[in-house]
Amino acid sequence: MNPYPTLSGETLVVPIVGDPIAQVKSPDGITREFAARGCAGVVVPMQISGDHLDALIAGLTPSGSIGGLIATVPHKFGVARHCGTLTDRAAFLGSVNVARRNADGTWHGDQVDGAAYVSAVRANGGDPAGRRVLQIGAGGA
């Protein structure tokens, strides 16, 4: 089985924005997961400075081909400002690392760094209940 979707006019593009961006490893894994779930989507890393983030999001938002947004350093707070709605945790943190479309075309943001960490601990047999953790280098988490 081909781990990547066949690109077509129906392919959804999910930019992952960051500065720097060369270090990200997630575009490959997420694109493979999309394909495994039958979703014609591709994650594309996009280098963008903070000075140009607002213009980029303003330009991407009208496109129906943009299926979501992923933010890495230093743009987790900047992407949050572009969200019409936020989960409670994203609102509390003022930070977003994933965003999807609302029915009205605006963005709905969430911050899943901490939840992903806890999920990984549990998946590896750990129990984080009642424990304290220092998470370093996790952006807005």
Distance of CA 15 to the CA centre of its chain: 8
3-state SS assignment for residue 113: helix
Residues 6+ apart with CB under 8 A from 60: 15, 66, 69
- How far is the C-alpha of 103 from the C-alpha of 78, rounded, in Å? 22
Active site residue 25: no
Say how far apart CA 93 and CA 96 lie, in whole Å: 8
Identify the burial level of 14 via C-beta atoms within 10 angstroms of its C-beta, where 0-12 means exposed, 13-18 middle and 19 or more buried. buried
Confirm if 109 and 86 have CB atoms less than 8 A apart. Answer: yes
Q: Among residues 16, 46, 76, 111, which one is catalytic? A: 76
Q: What is the number of other CB atoms lying within 10 angstroms of the CB of residue 18?
A: 22
Which residues does the annotation mark as catalytic?
76
